Structure 1
Amino acid sequence: MLHIKIVDSKNKKLSINDAEKFISSVEFGASIFFTGTVRNLNNNKSVIGITYDSHDELVIKSFEEIYKEADKKLNIQEKAVFIEHVKGYLNLGEISIIIAVACKHRDQAYVLSRYIIEEIKKRSPIWKKEHYTNNQSDWLKGNPIVHEKN
């Protein structure tokens, strides 16, 4: 089972309850909920909010690819995965991403959740613009899509 979505922050907030409803099943003995939230300090700058932008179609495609790759690499047969990422402005403490997974066993759930967030951070075309207390803002440098070999 897979649920993936980009959510416009003007219309809706991300909800752990939505994630819990999607992955809840008596088939699974372990659930992991990962949330990314807007923090108040980054690189010694006081942050007051973040604007997220994305190429929605490519983000959805990358989420699907990550899910399929996890199937092959981790070989976890029975699972439920919920991934939602916000697009738009968020205040401090608000949730930018939810990844919820349910599997038969806890080790599977931990490994799958970690795999998904790390791959999203590396590969999905999502950009962050931090807003600071001094009325300035910066688009943050992302991860390169192609990793150079050392």
Structure 2
Amino acid sequence: LFFIGTVRDHNNEKEVTGITYDSHDVMVKKSFEEIYNEAIKKLDLQHPVVFVEHAKGYVPLGGISIIIAVACKHRKQVYDFSRFIIEEIKKRTPIWKKEHYKGEDAEWLDGQKVEVKK
């Protein structure tokens, strides 16, 4: 199953023309691995296969921001796995968005805070 996320034309009642993504690459990779491992346990998956790639830099309206490909033994697992991955990435992966608007200044949206463990 492939999930392809694209830049939408509106957010918070503003007309979006594109998004600039930034991230902490090492922390993103770690987050993706944690999400994968949690999904295996939570969804009781047997030998799942996953590919995740998120854009970094400017992505225009309609451009691809994320690709998720998953394979599992059963159809229900594939859909549950894909949904779990995208929802958890949105909740906790350190990827930040600067939205560009038609006729307005671009602005950084609230993103995931990076916690430094001592």
| Shorter-chain TM-score above 0.5 | yes
Distance in 2, matches of 1:36 and 1:46, equals: 18
Quote the residue 1:141 is aligned against. 110
Aligned to 2:98: 129
Change (3 A) 1:121 1:145: farther
Equivalent-residue separation in structure 2 for 1:61 and 1:45 (angstroms): 33
82, 101, 115: which one aligns with 2:51: 82
Instruction: Give me the identity figure in percent.
Output: 66
Match 2:83 to one of 114, 132, 147 = 114
State how many pairs are aligned.
Answer: 115
TM-score relative to the length of structure 1 = 0.73
SS of residue paired to 2:79 = helix
**Are 1:98 and 2:29 matched, yes or no?**
no
Q: Detail structure 1 runs of 4+ shifted over 3 Å in the superposition.
A: 143-146
Q: Distance in 1 between matches of 2:94 and 2:46?
A: 28
Deviation (angstroms), 1:73:
1.0
2:88 maps to a residue whose letter is: E
* CA deviation after TM superposition for structure 1 residue 74, in Å: 1.0
Unpaired segments of 5 or more residues in structure 1?
A: 1-31
Output the CA distance in 2 between the equivalents of 1:145 and 1:58: 9
SS in 2 for 1:36: strand
1:50 aligned partner = 19
Taking only aligned residues, the RMSD between alpha carbons, in angstroms, comes to: 1.5
Unaligned 5+ runs, structure 2: none
Deviation at 1:64, TM superposition (A): 0.4
Question: Aligned partner of 1:133: which letter?
Answer: K
CA distance in 1, matches of 2:37, 2:114: 18
Q: TM-score, normalised by structure 2?
A: 0.91
Using the alignment, how far apart are the partners of 1:41 and 1:53 within structure 2?
20
Residue 126 of structure 1 aligns to which amino acid in structure 2? I
Shift of 1:116: 0.5
